[in-house]
Structure 1
Amino acid sequence: MSAHIPNERPAPDSVLTDIVDYVLDYEITSDLAYETARNCLIDTLGCGLEALDYPACTKLLGPIVPGTVVPHGAKVPGTQFQLDPVQ
């Protein structure tokens, strides 16, 4: 006989809830922090778009089943793909 496995989600651990509380409640007042975050975002997008020039990177992109389109999926910047956000 199989054992009963509950389908209830366990409560998140304390480290995870501490991070969420910090992210939601902390007020950023530093212009330097916003400028740094902006520069990090621009650099990340630039590096991601640059990686599209390398076949070793682009072979990791795309749907699991070739030709699949998810109508309200997440668009992959720099490509024609619109995929399931989980993938």
Structure 2
Amino acid sequence: MPSNVDSNERPDYDPEIQAIADYVLNYRIDSQEAWDTARHCLMDTLGCGLLALRFPECTKHLGPLVEGTLVPHPARVPGTSHRLDPVKAAWDIGCIVRWLD
């Protein structure tokens, strides 16, 4: 009797995805200039995000979807008092860091 239940075995990742994952996990950065550049990019991103919080058109998009919602393991949004579920926090962080673009 044939079964119509899907297999529980996960297929291998595409080679391109596996190559990216291997690079992220295993590549060693030995260049001080690369580290300095990454630090400057992070500081610029945080600065732009904090500046964006001065714009009401930006901040109206931030915060919980339902006011008063308590999340057991919340993610914080830099520059705000928001402690949100990870998906909404990712949206909010993306909103503030891209607002001035």
Do they superpose with TM above 0.5? Answer: yes
1:86 is paired with a residue whose SS is: helix
The structure richer in helix per residue is 2
Q: How far does residue 35 in structure 1 lie from its aligned partner after superposition? A: 0.2
Question: Do structure 1's residue 49 and structure 2's residue 41 form an aligned pair?
Answer: no
The number of residue pairs the alignment matches comes to 85
Query: Taking every aligned residue pair, what percent have the same amino acid on both sides?
Result: 59
The RMSD of aligned alpha carbons is 2.1
C-alpha spacing 1:54/1:7, structure 2 compared with 1 (3 Å): farther
How far apart are residue 41 of structure 1 and its match?
0.5
Write the distance in 1 (CA, Å) between the matches of 2:55 and 2:7: 45
Q: How far apart, CA to CA, are the structure 1 residues paired with 2:24 and 2:50?
A: 28
Q: 1:7 & 1:64 partners in 2: Cα distance?
A: 35
Residue of structure 2 equivalent to 1:37: 38
Question: 2:83 matched to which residue of 1?
Answer: 82
- Any idea what SS the aligned residue of 1:48 has? helix
Structure 1 length normalisation: TM-score? 0.81
- Give 5+ residue unaligned stretches, structure 1: none
Q: Quote the residue 1:25 is aligned against.
A: 26
TM-score, normalising length from structure 2? Answer: 0.71
Distance 1:15 1:59, change over 3 A: farther
* Residue deviations 1:29-65 (CA, integer Å, cap 9, x gap): 0000000000000000000111101112111111110
